[in-house]
Amino acid sequence: MSFSRRKFLRASGLMTTAALLSVEQLLAAIEKNQAVKGWDSGSSKQSIINDLRSKGYSLIPAPQQLKLTGNDIVVDKTWAAALTPGKGARALSSLHTGVASLHSLNLAKTGANRIVLELKAGTIKEKLESSLLKQAYHLQISPNQIRIAADDEAGLFYGVQSLLQLLRPEGNGSFKLPEGSITDWPALDLRFIHWDTKHHQDRMETLKRYMDWAALFKINMIAFEIEDKYEYPRHPIIGAPGAFTKKEMHELTAYAHARYIQLVPNVQAPAHMAYVLKHKEFEHLKSDGSNYQACMCDEEAMNLILDMYQDMIDATPGVNYFFVSTDEVYYAGMCAKCQKEYNEENRSQMVVDYINRVHKWFAERGRRILCWVEYPILPKHIVQLPADLIDGIMSTSKTKDWVDNQNKVGIKQLAYSSMQGAEYLFPGYFGFGERAGRLDGASKTVTGSKAMGAELIGTFAAAWDDSGLHNEAFWLGWATVAQYAWTATKPSIEQTVADFMDIYYGHNSPDMVETYRLLEKGGRFYHQMWDHPVSKERGPGYGNSHGKGIGTKRTDETLDMPPIPSGIELRFEPAFAKKYEKKIAEAKALAEDMNKLAGLLQQNISKVHRNKYNLEVFLSIAYLERYSVKTFPMLARAEAMLESAVRGKDKPANAVNQLIGAHKAVGALIAELDSFWPEFTAIWEKSRFKKCRSVNGKHFVHVLDDVKDHFADRRLGLEYMTAPFERMEMKKWREELWNTIAVYAKANNVPIAEAEETRLED
């Protein structure tokens, strides 16, 4: 994890015996279902391993109340499932589908051993709010009967999800369960995860699979940041080629409802609107000429946004909520069409007025709105906001006056955790050194927000597509946030991670925690390896959160290549090894880890019982990470060969061989990327469509956002990940080196015919 050992022990309240263990040793022990000497393995909120985990069972979220006898029961294909008279067909269907898809178990139609689902008023004795009571359930596991009872159908469904997770395979077609009882309910009503589709469009079957897994983790809200991936019947020009149709959105919405999930539209407006304002039809609606934000003083622009809202209402029937975003509305009032002076006071008031306007509009259509209540809104203006608004971005970074003013109004909040924002390739789940990881923050957001006085109604697990990460990388984060929305103070992060690995990949999936750590390590290296020269591909930006014209210099990721000896004299001043000395050392130290990562993933793909595709995606990432790590020592080696040639130029034949060696070394680097990149693309496109594709003669309009500099904006395809290598111009470098080789060899009568043939083959 991200804490130091001392910090971890202090946070966990552990004493001297535990202090002898490193966090890594503890995590390994938990992953292997081992109780740790000196630690309480009971079911109290302070325990590091609860009774389920200590007996080899996994459940996310962890239950509120747990009573076990210490015995196990056996479930096999002789067991039957029944629903007592009344509703609950969705729960029964989920049971049959779940045992088949997760466990390859088909229940009998009749049998002496039975799983009974029962809707019964008064099942839950706890005094709960009605919204929480509807999701509560009681699970009783006995030798010949498993009974799931609930006051409401949603609770019955969640009881089934717990049963599905708890079934532990025994290897002979039978499964074990812990004898005892669970009484369970969520601490918070709304448990959001975030599907951001800025830079990709998932396939229908992918989204359905995501919903299946979201339901298993008792997630009940999905903020679908749709951007241009919907057809928008009122303004079809906005929809990207191949965007989802209304019929497809209806299908997805119904699929979500069947799993007690609401598919909540998230429409970015009035800022982050480059996906709209890039079109010529709407460029006159820009605020001060920027494609980042629409002019909020232009009624045509406001009506366009309302049209988009209405299209998404029509696309998601039966949904109670709508996310109107209001994310980073930096330039509210900047437009020349606005009458009031652009300043902090008027800008804040304009955003508040916008929220009040759209709140009233949505209330007339039966939708409750969520938005980001954040800068540039001033704390004093919060009291003007509507009482039933939901603030989707409550965190411990908010000041006390923000929370107090929201409480005065009656605004509820979602405890916000981001599973990724700027990282490349893989989320920073665990952190490094003294820097806490995202899982650590997620485990504390609910309790921290409540300690500040927030009136939480739920959680929001963000996962931004700005850096283009594959959604398969987000499941650990999504499940973790769901865990602490349900039972905020237990269990430990280490147990949650270990439980997730068992549930998502199947019991006894080897070394998955280590795999995630190595993926994060390689991703961090890739992110930090680059130089950032001023961009030659993009013009200056419009501005940033500090204002227009601030932070307008755009940069691109790349590296300098080693210098090339020049002339017959081989004039040369080495530079690469000196400039990148630390990176070369870091890459050499990381090389074995990257080889280990690729090996673990290759092994695990054949061993895991579930979500093999997830590991295919991770393996593609691992290859890119390993390639990135190889780049520094390979180029340093090439430069060393060039140095050797220059030092030994009094022996021309040897010098030519060294020059050709450098040429081949860089050629091998180019060839490796060319060899794995097609497979990388093919793997990613199993679950999503080709990025920025053309469909039926409609072509994607590619215009970069002039405020937000998103990594995934920079190429039409997935090649944004390899663009930094492209900017290094390795092929051009080899051609220039070859010219030097040819001139030097000719001047010194050294034949290079064989090498010439090799160059042409390359």
Start-to-end CA span in the chain (Å): 45
Q: Encode pLDDT of 662-684 as tens digits.
A: 999 999 999 999 999 999 999 99
Are 488 and 187 in contact, with CB atoms under 8 Å apart?
Answer: yes
What is residue 760's predicted lDDT score, i.e. its pLDDT? 45
Q: Encode pLDDT of 299-340 as tens digits.
A: 999 999 999 999 999 999 999 999 999 999 999 999 999 999
3-state secondary structure of 52: helix
Could you give the residue ranges of the DSSP H alpha helices within 564-715?
576-579, 581-607, 612-647, 652-684
Compute the distance between CA of residue 454 and CA of residue 396 in angstroms, rounded to an integer: 10
For residues 315 and 399, the model is more confident at 315
pLDDT band at residue 30, thresholds of 50, 70 and 90?
very low
3-state secondary structure of 104: coil
Work out whether the CA dihedral 122, 127, 132, 135 comes out positive or negative. Answer: negative
E strand segments, 427-554: 431-432, 435-436, 456-462, 543-544, 547-548
What is residue 753's predicted lDDT score, i.e. its pLDDT? 64
Could you give the residue ranges of the DSSP H alpha helices within 147-298?
153-166, 204-216, 246-257, 274-277
What is residue 38's predicted lDDT score, i.e. its pLDDT? 28
Residues 74-97: what's their mean pLDDT?
93
Compute the distance between CA of residue 612 and CA of residue 631 in angstroms, rounded to an integer: 29
What is residue 538's predicted lDDT score, i.e. its pLDDT? 86
Q: Encode pLDDT of 734-750 as tens digits.
A: 999 999 999 999 999 99
Closest CA to 459 of 470, 473, 443: 443
pLDDT band at residue 45, thresholds of 50, 70 and 90?
very low
Phi-psi region of 92 (alpha: psi -120 to 50; beta: other; left: phi over 0): alpha
The CATH-assigned architecture of domain 190-504 is Alpha-Beta Barrel (3.20)
| 353 CB-contact burial (10 Å; exposed 0-12 / middle 13-18 / buried 19+) | middle
Q: Encode pLDDT of 503-523 as tens digits.
A: 999 987 889 999 999 999 999
Q: How far is CA 531 from CA 233, 253, 296, 534, 706, in A?
A: 44, 44, 38, 10, 21
Please report, to the nearest 10 degrees, the dihedral formed by the alpha carbons of residues 31, 36, 39, 43 taken in order. Answer: 40
Compute the distance between CA of residue 373 and CA of residue 327 in angstroms, rounded to an integer: 8
Residues 78-84: what's their mean pLDDT?
93
Compute the distance between CA of residue 442 and CA of residue 444 in angstroms, rounded to an integer: 5
Work out whether the CA dihedral 241, 246, 250, 253 comes out positive or negative. Answer: positive
Helix (H) or strand (E) holding 201: none
For residues 15 and 219, the model is more confident at 219
| 316 CB-contact burial (10 Å; exposed 0-12 / middle 13-18 / buried 19+) | buried
- Start-end ranges of CATH 3.20.20.80 in the chain? 190-504
Instruction: Say if residue 84's pLDDT is above 50.
Output: yes
Q: How far is CA 311 from CA 235, 240, 303, 320, in A?
A: 9, 15, 12, 15
What is residue 27's predicted lDDT score, i.e. its pLDDT? 43
Q: Percent of the chain having pLDDT more than 90?
A: 85
Closest CA to 741 of 680, 685, 666: 666
Closest CA to 154 of 174, 175, 124: 124
How many CA atoms lie within 13 Å of 201's alpha carbon, on the beta-carbon side? 21
Work out whether the CA dihedral 248, 254, 260, 266 comes out positive or negative. Answer: positive
Q: Percent of the chain having pLDDT more than 70?
A: 92
Compute the distance between CA of residue 663 and CA of residue 654 in angstroms, rounded to an integer: 14
Q: Encode pLDDT of 424-470 as tens digits.
A: 999 999 998 878 899 999 999 999 999 999 999 999 999 999 999 99
Closest CA to 216 of 418, 516, 461, 483: 483
- Start-end ranges of CATH 3.30.379.10 in the chain? 65-184
For residues 43 and 692, the model is more confident at 692
Phi and psi angles of residue 623, each rounded to the nearest 5 degrees, phi first:
-65, -40
Compute the distance between CA of residue 271 and CA of residue 347 in angstroms, rounded to an integer: 13
Q: What is the DSSP letter of 490?
A: -
pLDDT band at residue 50, thresholds of 50, 70 and 90?
low
How many CA atoms lie within 13 Å of 7's alpha carbon, on the beta-carbon side? 9
Mean pLDDT of the chain: 91
For residues 545 and 563, the model is more confident at 563
Which residues, 6 or more positions from 279, have their beta carbon under 8 angstroms from its beta carbon?
Answer: 237, 238, 701
Amino acid found at 649: K
Residues 168-188: what's their mean pLDDT?
95
3-state secondary structure of 370: strand
Residues 419-423: what's their mean pLDDT?
88
pLDDT band at residue 421, thresholds of 50, 70 and 90?
confident
Instruction: Say if residue 392's pLDDT is above 70.
Output: yes
Range with the poorest average pLDDT among 251-265, 274-288, 689-703, 746-760: 746-760
3-state secondary structure of 522: helix
E strand segments, 109-174: 114-119, 137-141, 145-150, 168-169
What is residue 24's predicted lDDT score, i.e. its pLDDT? 43
What is residue 704's predicted lDDT score, i.e. its pLDDT? 87
Instruction: Say if residue 644's pLDDT is above 50.
Output: yes
Query: Residue 265 forms beta bridges with which residues?
Result: 224
Instruction: Say if residue 657's pLDDT is above 70.
Output: yes
pLDDT band at residue 41, thresholds of 50, 70 and 90?
very low
**Which residue carries 């079911």 as its tokens?**
43
Compute the distance between CA of residue 557 and CA of residue 528 in angstroms, rounded to an integer: 10
Compute the distance between CA of residue 159 and CA of residue 184 in angstroms, rounded to an integer: 8
Residues 611-636: what's their mean pLDDT?
98
Instruction: Say if residue 21's pLDDT is above 80.
Output: no
What is residue 645's predicted lDDT score, i.e. its pLDDT? 96
Structure token pair of residue 608 = 């895991």
pLDDT band at residue 22, thresholds of 50, 70 and 90?
very low
3-state secondary structure of 437: coil
CATH of domain 65-184: 3.30.379.10
Are 312 and 245 in contact, with CB atoms under 8 Å apart?
Answer: no
Q: Encode pLDDT of 681-721 as tens digits.
A: 999 999 999 999 999 999 999 988 899 888 998 899 999 99
Range with the poorest average pLDDT among 24-38, 214-228, 541-555, 683-697: 24-38
What is residue 8's predicted lDDT score, i.e. its pLDDT? 29
